[in-house]
């Protein structure tokens, strides 16, 4: 009774996509969607999603909880590393000065990266410490809602 690996991975990816969308994030799956969204005026939180354990156990829960705060970005979006490769590559073009990292978060303001929470700041940390990092960035770059 062998399990088809692709069937298994498709289920894992679907669950990871559904989890972040249920938290209120809009999925960007093309380079054109990324350009249009990240070049908008205001602030955007980009969550670079992945199927790794630290994405599921730390980053996605932190993404869901961090937005329940007095200040938050105008837009919440996600790209999926390893899945929507062109969209992810285009998003990373905005992350000037930061190496590719997934999972990760970027604060984009008026089309320019202002800060990131990179994988090394997520992996091995408690979800609440990532929430606190994100909310500190919200205090610095976002307006009260």
Q: Which of 20, 38, 52, 76 is catalytic?
A: 52
Comparing CA positions, the residue from 131, 136, 138, 144 lying closest to residue 63 is 131
- Return the number of other C-beta atoms located less than 10 Å from residue 29's C-beta: 16
User: Could you give the angle at which helices 31-38 and 85-94 cross, rounded to 10 degrees?
Assistant: 30
In order of 40, 79, 123, 136, the CA distances from 67 in angstroms are 20, 17, 20, 12
The tokens of 21 are what?
A: 């969308």
Whether 142 sits among the annotated catalytic residues: the reply is: no
Whether 52 sits among the annotated catalytic residues: the reply is: yes
Q: Which of 20, 54, 62, 117 is catalytic?
A: 54
Q: Which residues are catalytic?
A: 52, 54
């Amino acid at each position: 009774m062998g399990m088809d690996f692709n069937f298994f991975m498709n289920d894992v990816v679907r669950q990871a996509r559904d989890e972040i969308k249920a938290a209120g994030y809009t999925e960007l799956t093309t380079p054109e969607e990324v350009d249009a969204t990240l070049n908008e005026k205001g602030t955007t939180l980009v969550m670079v999603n992945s199927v790794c354990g630290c994405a599921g156990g730390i980053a996605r829960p932190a993404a869901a909880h961090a937005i329940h705060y007095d200040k938050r970005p105008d837009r919440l979006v996600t790209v999926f590393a390893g899945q929507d490769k062109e969209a992810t590559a285009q998003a990373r073009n905005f992350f000037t000065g930061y190496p590719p990292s997934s999972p990760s978060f970027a604060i984009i303001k008026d089309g320019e990266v202002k800060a990131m929470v990179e994988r090394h700041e997520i992996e091995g940390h408690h979800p609440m410490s990532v929430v606190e990092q994100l909310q500190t960035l919200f205090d610095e770059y976002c307006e009260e809602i």
